[in-house]
Amino acid sequence: MMYTNLLLEVQEGIAVLTINRPKALNALNAQTLQEIHQFFTKDGLAIKDLKGVIVTGAGEKSFVAGADISEFLKLEKGKGKAFAMKGHDIFFAIERFPKPVIAAVNGYALGGGCELAMACHIRVAGEKARFGQPEVNLGILPGYGGTQRLIQLIGKGKAIEMMLTADMIGAEEALRLGLVTHVIPLGQEVAKAKEILQKIATKGPVAVTKVIEAVNAYFNYLADGYNAEADGFSDCTETTDFKEGAAAFLEKRKANFKGE
Ligand code: CAA
């Protein structure tokens, strides 16, 4: 797990992954994207007893200020679609990660940064966080899933306005729109995300993964979300955790889940 642009800290089963390019406001260059991919497809999956992942940005100013614009000029003609699809693959790996992933948004979450936060399962924001999809300012559109996930999270009306005007919104408006679920004092974002992950860690681990899969299936036009929900329900009923959860409720005690 050697990274150049990421910091990884694992404590009590919670991995904190910090995008660490503060001089460029943590913009996602090719190297950083490759490292994020490596974490969510390989390294993160190998962490024993992982409860979940928190994604955040180094420094107080920025979560991630987007794709690294300095690499745009090197983009060869005819390579635009592959550029976007590479981002899609990486962000799908986050969205499909079997353990909960929370974005702790500490500052600017713009363009690819807003898209990165939206690929996470839950978003909490510091009070100074700013969200936006300003790509039209650059003559492009959100290319890492923003046109789809922003609509999913806040609805078509406000999403299309944000993407067409490039206007930013603050943390409180993001909360009102449902883009984030908590606004907390600056510097407390990671602590809040940890608190949420600790709570989720008391639930049935198989059920947690199946919720993630079923929710993702709702948004995958190639899959049938109801079918994924039924399959997930069926898988959960086959576990001993299912019996333990029901027994604990009936016996008025805390369930002792084993992930089996
Ligand atoms: N890419 C590369 N470098 C970036 C960057 C980015 N997305 N955002 C900021 N930086 C760099 C700046 O170039 C600057 O570097 P230097 O100190 O070497 O000049 C440094 O970070 C600090 O930035 P600013 O001086 O601009 O800081 P500011 O406080 O004046 O403004 C800001 C902050 C409003 C976030 C501004 O930096 C900004 O608008 N950044 C670009 C945001 C953006 O357009 N994001 C979308 C990118 S495109 C994309 O993401 C496409 C996609 O969907 C895949």
Between CA 237 and CA 215, with CA 46 as vertex, the angle to 5 degrees is: 45
117-131 burial, b if ≥16 CB within 10 A, otherwise e? bbbbbbbbbbebbbb
What is the chain's length? Answer: 260
Mean pLDDT of 22-42: 98
In this prediction the pTM is: 0.94
Asked if 131 and 99 touch (Cβ cutoff 8 Å), the reply is no
Task: Quote the tokens at residue 200.
Answer: 């989720």
SS3 68: coil
pLDDT in tens, 225-242: 677 777 877 888 888 998
CA distances from 99 to 128, 141, 147, 164 (A): 28, 30, 25, 34
35, 95, 135, 189: the active-site residue: 135
The CA 136 to ligand 1 mean position distance, Å, reads 14
pLDDT value of position 126: 98
Pocket test for ligand 1, best of 5, 69, 163 (most atoms within 8 A of CB): 69
Average pLDDT, the chain: 94
C-alpha 216/C-alpha 31 separation (Å) is 27
The CA 111 to ligand 1 mean position distance, Å, reads 10
Nearest CA to ligand 1 atom 36: 65
Mean pLDDT of 157-167: 97
The CA 48 to ligand 1 mean position distance, Å, reads 36
User: Is residue 223 pLDDT above 80, yes or no?
Assistant: no
User: Is residue 170 pLDDT above 80, yes or no?
Assistant: yes
Asked if 68 and 57 touch (Cβ cutoff 8 Å), the reply is no
Mean pLDDT of 85-97: 95
Nearest CA to ligand 1 atom 14: 24
Residues in contact with ligand 1 by the CB-under-6-Å rule are 24-25, 27, 65-70, 87, 108, 110-112, 115, 134-135, 137-138, 142-144, 146
Task: Quote the tokens at residue 104.
Answer: 């702790």
Q: Which long-range contacts (CB under 8 A, 24 or more apart) does 209-217 make?
A: 209/98, 209/99, 210/235, 210/236, 212/96, 212/97, 212/98, 212/100, 212/121, 213/96, 216/95, 216/96
Asked if 190 and 123 touch (Cβ cutoff 8 Å), the reply is no
Active site residue 12: no
Ligand 1 atom showing the smallest separation from residue 69 Cα: 1
Nearest CA to ligand 1 atom 3: 24
User: Is residue 219 pLDDT above 90, yes or no?
Assistant: no
Active site residue 244: no
Which is more confidently placed, 98 or 77? Answer: 98
The CA 190 to ligand 1 mean position distance, Å, reads 23
User: Is residue 78 pLDDT above 90, yes or no?
Assistant: no
Q: Where are the alpha helices (DSSP H) in 97-239?
A: 112-119, 146-154, 156-165, 171-177, 189-200, 205-218, 225-237
User: Is residue 58 pLDDT above 90, yes or no?
Assistant: yes
Task: Quote the tokens at residue 248.
Answer: 């604990």
